[in-house]
Amino acid sequence: MRDRLGRGGMGTVWRADDELLGRQVAVKELHPEGGAPATAALREARAVAQIKHPHVIVVHDVVEEAPDGAARGGRSYIVMELVDGGSLADRLGSAGPVGVREAARIGIALLGALATAHARGVLHRDLKPANVLIEEGTGRVVLTDFGIAQVPGASTISEEGAFVGSPEYTAPERMQGAGAGPESDLWSLGALLCAALSGESPFHRDSLGGVLHAVVLDEIRPPRAAGPLLPVVQGLLERDPAHRLGAVEAESLLRTFAATGSTPIPRYVPTERVAHRPPPVEVPATPVASAAPAGRAWQARSVLVGAALVIVLAGAGAAVALFALGDVETAGGSVSPAAPSANAAPPYASWRPPPPPPPPPRRPPPPVPDGYRFVRDPDGFALALPDGYVRTTDTQRVFYTSADGAQRIGIRTQNAVSGGPLGVMRDSAANGPASNPGYRDGKVTATTHRGRDAALWEFTWNGFTKAEGARHTYDVCWDEFGRMYDVWVSAPLARLDEAKRNFDTALDSFVPAP
Q: CA-to-CA distance for 347 and 338, rounded, in angstroms?
A: 14
The DSSP code sequence of 59-80 is: EEEEEE--TTSSTTTT-EEEEE
- Residue 375 CB contacts under 8 Å (≥ 6 apart), including other chains: 382, 383, 384, 385, 400
Could you give the angle at which helices 496-509 and 247-260 cross, rounded to 10 degrees? Answer: 140
Return the active site residues.
126
Cα 159 from Cα 139, distance rounded (Å)? 37
Which one-letter amino acid corresponds to residue 8? G
Report residue 382 CA to chain centroid gap.
Answer: 21
Distance CA 359, CA 355 (A): 12
C-alpha 297/C-alpha 347 separation (Å) is: 7
For 452-467, b/e burial (b = at least 16 CB within 10 A) is bbbbbbbbebebeeee
Question: Residues 64, 113: contact at Cβ < 8 Å?
Answer: no
The sign of the CA dihedral 5, 82, 484, 442 is: positive
Question: Which sign, positive or negative, has the C-alpha torsion 268, 272, 277, 280?
Answer: negative
